[in-house]
Structure 1
């Protein structure tokens, strides 16, 4: 799918609200990693889903100065891609979920996955394998921003480190990251900006 020419620029939300949360004001810069933390159940996943326009919401959201409303929903979700903690799988085979196997194959070893997994059945995968494959499924679409909902929660330390390294490289190439994490050490390693969501709203943690 050919994507429209959108200027490089921030992902911005103003007065973003859903039925149960908000309003939120947020600005995410390209090539930066923003870590979002807060208590379980406070609405972090919902905030990511509203930014990706997956859940009903109101407010003004734009990418590079282009309003979300001016783009087809499918285009917006490819540019601003949400990766759930437990992503959906709608086909039996892993390969059927990738439109470009040549693009994903070299990424697999970078996150400690055997390329032979592309020939596996989804039911054969571990939780950690599904989590990493879902991330790669998003990356090969080359989004401007990735909204990551605890992308390493099911991983062993070596695989976690591999995912962090891969996403650092993506960030260095200009991709913006909004990363939900409960791991204070991970936030310290990754965050250019650290946001916290609590009962008082969304605010930036001091360095």
Structure 2
């Protein structure tokens, strides 16, 4: 099994704020890892650290440099241009010739069901459509690992189902998924493994079935019961 991330004793400080504390984890290729916990627990910081956007203050993080990564943010930035150009620009920045980048962008939009809206201004799309556009932009880069920060937050139920379906399809095709979510139903449907964080500490790291059916640390048990109730 290929190890993509190997984190040992990682802490991240932002001034006096300790966003992560002594985190240790290992993630293998092909896993579907959900990060859960309340707001401010460290989920986003952990995702950004794995993606290389945040450097550990202490500890070590080894990353498989051969694995291509892409990250989808909770509120993806949309350029004030067409949906197609939003995807093509990322490819062009990676060195793809502009004409070919446009061709690949259209295929990516068709992959997420937005082919008919290729020329629509991205800013004019609905929230769910923008999230699918962001997924197309990431998928076009053909990543081995896709990191997603609350990918369906604030979306209506129909849009959530569409995004979840795409995530499931990407995972089935062999892509490694690491995503944060407050939706425990979504976690059950998509994840093979669940990590629970609180105040920057990783308190539980279990297969999904065990997380929802087995004994948990008290903090994680309260969180799960609170969400279910």
Q: Show the counterpart of 2:19.
A: 21
Q: Show the counterpart of 1:54.
A: 53
1:154 aligns with 2:168: no
Distance apart, 1:200 and its partner CA: 7.0
1:160 is paired with a residue of what secondary structure? Answer: helix
Alignment of 1:14-93 (within 5 A): 14-19=8-13, 20-22=18-20, 23-58=22-57, 59-64=59-64, 66=65, 79-93=68-82
Q: TM (normalized to structure 2)?
A: 0.72
Equivalent residues, number: 189
In 1: Cα distance, 2:107 partner to 2:122 partner: 20
Q: TM (normalized to structure 1)?
A: 0.79
Q: Spell out, residue by residue over 1:131-179, the C-alpha distance to the aligned partner (whole angstroms, 9 max, x if none).
A: 1211211111111211111112233333322322222222222211111
Q: Which runs of 5+ in 1 are unaligned?
A: 1-6
Report which of the two structures shows the higher radius of gyration computed on alpha carbons.
2
Alignment of 1:1-207 (within 5 A): 8-19=2-13, 20-22=18-20, 23-58=22-57, 59-64=59-64, 66=65, 79-99=68-88, 100-108=101-109, 111=112, 113-199=113-199, 201-202=201-202, 203-205=204-206, 206-207=210-211
1:10 is paired with a residue of what secondary structure? Answer: strand
Q: Which moved more, 1:17-26 or 1:88-97?
A: 88-97
| RMSD of equivalent CA atoms | 2.5
2:71 is paired with a residue of what secondary structure? Answer: strand
In 2: Cα distance, 1:134 partner to 1:61 partner: 27
Q: 4+ runs of 1 displaced by more than 4 Å?
A: none
